[in-house]
Amino acid sequence: MALDSFTWCIGTSLFYGFLVEWFKFREIELGLLSSIFTLSWTITQIPAGKIVDKYGSKTAMIFSELMGISTLALWLIAKDFTTFMVSEILFGITPALWIPALNTYIAEKAPKDRVSGTLGGVSAFRGLISFPAPYIGGHLFDLAGFYLPVTVSLIGVVITLLAIIFLLESQPILLHSSL
């Protein structure tokens, strides 16, 4: 989970700054991109939670990372503002799936009397591991421009996806009649 946080922060922590510097986007464009991301996340949050309930946390994490890979790939091929707008829709789905899936996975694995402490510990660990990532992303941008930090993030997300597929235990799927 820390690998996910670290690799995402390399390419996304300074993303809007990268867009201003590399593509010369204006503040109104950044605001629109951010609004699309937030709206996408908001609209997909409840269905994403239902997906986690129906298919399990591991499956949802895999799908989240696939959305993330699609987002990063779009960033690498984007030449215009419209493509970045489309990418923000996918980018919003990524945390909408990831957060409930990760929290569910941890809650199911943690001792029942220490779920909150475990969630807090994992969150703190992810923060500690990822705190240098924005600096690294900024340095990579200074070295080679927009595409290097995004490519490094993409590679890290692919590695994270493979780790989820091959290393994470699957949780039992609970089918609810309301889904």
pLDDT category, 109, cuts 50, 70, 90? confident
**Counting Cβ atoms within 10 Å, is residue 119 exposed (0-12), middle (13-18) or buried (19+)?**
middle
Q: Calculate the alpha carbon distances from 116 to 129, 155, 170 in Å.
A: 20, 32, 21
Q: Calculate the alpha carbon distances from 140 to 19, 53, 159 in Å.
A: 14, 39, 19
Provide the whole-model pTM. 0.90
User: Which class is domain 2-167?
Assistant: mainly alpha
142 pLDDT exceeds 70? yes
What would the two tokens of residue 21 be?
A: 């510097």
Domain assignments of the chain as residue spans, ordered by start: 2-167
Residue 5 is predicted with a pLDDT of 92
pLDDT category, 149, cuts 50, 70, 90? very high
CB 103 within 8 A of CB 119: yes
Q: Looking at this protein, which amino acid is placed at residue 164?
A: I
